[in-house]
Structure 1
């Protein structure tokens, strides 16, 4: 229900007294921008509030609860599952990007504490200067994606092949509750004679930290996150292999994934490879080549790797090939090379042809690039959908989705819809399948705010095409149905994946009870996780 204007104005004044008038917005442009994600536009919020720290965040949450206004926590805005979008008009988008500091790096305790709005890129660079790293160290969108958002949604990619997703590197979480209190988890929840406990361990009694991992921000508004540290590995190696078929590539990915030896292990189908090659050149960009050269531990090796890339050019991947890429790392040269040797043997045994590993070199040299990949190379809309299945179910699941797309191809062609696949692993048990869609439609304000201005200016804007968008929505739903048949898990459950609908009765009852205990008014991201009303 839309709140009366006087009530909205009163809340705006209260929030301005907490965060400052410059950090509460009610203009149409801000309300529209913060009410959309990569995939769709939600109901518009009344206000956007941007607290600067934990105390301000808690006060904002309490003020909203007292006013009966829903709160929708937002990080970097990279959701494609309506993770922070309102189901009904009104409420407040709580924007965490001002809460962006690295608060504590404990080199002796081997943990790092950050504010929820700190980006993965900011954290990575702060730790690299000290020779440290988190085990999982960010998604590909880490230039903008926040750690609070990553913990709420969960992430795949850097380090995930060995260490699992974001949540597996988290030690402690602090979250603001509707009454304005701060709940801390793990050893940070201790009350000692010396003061509050230090956040050095996740496990003491039931795992309360785990409740807030993957919760879509629905159980509390995250204010601080503590992650485990490791010494940054000193050596890395890369490999790429080309396969003639999806079946061979999928079986190879599963075989290699089961070893847990590759920190990143991923593959593209020909469709996604073609899209990537149409984007800004990997090979001709002197800055990219320079990053590969300077990223090595010594100049001679850097020049050698750069020369290999330059010689390979853009012809190192066949147009019809399925391509698998991997990275190994270790504190010793021998360790990285031994892992690479074992993986290479498995990859070649599965029918892989070794090719120049340009893609993993570039991704490692430039891990957090501008977000130009969130649109197509010809200004198309872009959206993924994904599922995580058991390692041995991955090949069959991928094949079933590809068969679905084959049946839809005449309609895809008629509406200019193209597809591709990214597949990757999570530790040695999870096989993630991520179909992506590109189609002609007008971009959102979020795209225009996130993509580099110069890149966007070089493209010809698209006209609206609601029919194409409806077809993509239909296909995404069909893909989710396939995943459900495999008992798949999903990151960023948001309002897209059927978490509540597919849980057993005892599991769903417990989830609802936890939500009701922490948020009895159901004002924190109501509707997320598919919970709806709690009564």
Structure 2
């Protein structure tokens, strides 16, 4: 006779031992089963482990009972990465794995638990005068290290230092049978987690896997000294090709730490939000970072210097001396002067002063829902892809107008080689459980909430698919693949066979995040 407990009995047993760290309240399960964009199958429970050993024992017990498992970081996904596709499923909330374990300045690495938010990590490192090369997405007040490494993410530091994965030295991962697997030099006897390249790169297998292969519990990341000097530049451009050429020139030269560009539609969306001069928090942070004169300059300038009919580009530059920062600024101006005209640099100053302030931006100025879709291409294909997307939007104009959909596009670069293009769809619809919990209540009260709009939601879903298919047709890669972007389609068969063999070895029952990466 089998002694395997039923799913309900497993949860009851864990509740007896874990207490409030096992969550079964329906309202809480609804929240944890919802991401920025949609909802998944109902969850059986949510577990909030305190350490890796506790989690590993629970994982072994849950998978023995045939229960699917999904890990969740800060919840800022919009591609179904942590949404359940079958029942029974238990979600692992890594929010209590929030310790900065070791800051080793001498050997230039930091060890963190997976549930540490990027903003909290940077605050801990600031006191030591160091930082990680990539230091988080714009949603870093909530987004976690583990989530970014599982999904892939970019922005702060990415133009110069690459994506989240480029800062990783090693990982600790709980696999489906309850083992704790280590990668990098930490897997070699008593070695410390200071070095990634010790034999085959097993670390890379788990980066961007969206939890397909296991649950990340710790990561070792590179450190570098904080740059002592910083400056900002902004430009405007009449055409997309001018903008793309400017971004490519800056990226190849490695001049900027962050690059953010907006098409005219996104610039207009941003202008509809509160003005710089009325945003007390933004002004306060700019004054704190750059002094009173910079704050007063923002009050005077506001956003009025931007032409809403033009493309805009905003960059942050960093250096380790006045001479270096001046040289970077001069080189950036020279690289871009043939393509566009320089304007007031208020926007990148505010972005730098509020680096993790994006959580309220997931709703539009009138409470509209938000859905970004991105593609990553080499610089040589960026204008071609942007124009193809404009053709798509023109062909869909009647449907978009009928349902109140509008689109603004954000662009950035990743390291020296890549341009990221991210159209964001806004549509009138009710807010879900994730929005209600995450967006500041006073902000939601100001912008209001449109009523439920199922036709607009369906039109958005169809347009999202067409955007992703257009990007795929132009050879684009993606982060945050989750359960939305195609991964297996047209992929090299030998590469898929290798991934499937690793999955079979680590998770023979297929219980780690079923449905992710197209499985």
| Pairwise same-fold verdict (TM > 0.5) | yes
> Which residue of 453, 473, 497 maps to 2:485?
497
> Which residue of 438, 455, 470 maps to 1:467?
455
Does the alignment pair 1:356 with 2:344? Answer: yes
TM-fit CA distance, 1:13: 2.1
1:163, 1:103 → 2: CA distance?
24
Deviation track 1:160-208 (CA, whole Å, cap 9, x = no partner) reads 00110000000010000122111000001011xxxx3210001011101
1:131, 1:228 → 2: CA distance?
14
Correspondence list, 1:308-319, <5 A? 308-319=297-308
1:34, 1:118 → 2: CA distance?
18
1:381, 1:338 → 2: CA distance?
42
2:506, 2:274 → 1: CA distance?
47
TM-fit CA distance, 1:460: 2.5
Does the alignment pair 1:226 with 2:220? Answer: yes
> Which residue of 19, 24, 28 maps to 1:30?
28
> Which residue of 321, 331, 344 maps to 2:310?
321
- Secondary structure in 1 matching 2:28: helix
TM-fit CA distance, 1:223: 0.4
1:288, 1:442 → 2: CA distance?
28
2:424, 2:490 → 1: CA distance?
24
Give the aligned partner of residue 169 of structure 2: 171
Does the alignment pair 1:43 with 2:67? Answer: no
Unaligned segments of structure 1, at least 5 residues: 1-5, 297-301
Does the alignment pair 1:284 with 2:278? Answer: yes
TM-fit CA distance, 1:252: 1.8
TM-fit CA distance, 1:370: 5.7
1:336, 1:51 → 2: CA distance?
45
Give the aligned partner of residue 495 of structure 2: 507
Q: Is the 8 A contact 1:370 1:451 kept in 2?
A: no
Deviation track 1:258-297 (CA, whole Å, cap 9, x = no partner) reads 222111112001111111122233222233222112213x
Does the alignment pair 1:67 with 2:82? Answer: no
Does the alignment pair 1:10 with 2:9? Answer: yes
Q: Is the 8 A contact 1:258 1:391 kept in 2?
A: no
Correspondence list, 1:94-173, <5 A? 94-173=92-171
> Which residue of 286, 294, 300 maps to 2:288?
294
- Secondary structure in 2 matching 1:283: helix
TM-score of the superposition, structure 2-length normalised? 0.97
- Secondary structure in 2 matching 1:458: helix
1:459, 1:140 → 2: CA distance?
21
List 4+ stretches of structure 1 deviating above 4 A. Answer: none
The change in CA–CA distance for 1:500 and 1:235 in structure 2 (over 3 A counts) is: same
Does the alignment pair 1:416 with 2:410? Answer: no
TM-fit CA distance, 1:518: 1.1
TM-fit CA distance, 1:311: 2.4
- Secondary structure in 1 matching 2:356: coil
Query: Number of matched residues?
Result: 515
Q: Which moved more, 1:143-152 or 1:460-469?
A: 460-469
Q: Is the 8 A contact 2:138 2:358 kept in 1?
A: no
Q: Is the 8 A contact 1:238 1:327 kept in 2?
A: yes
> Which residue of 183, 186, 206 maps to 1:185?
183
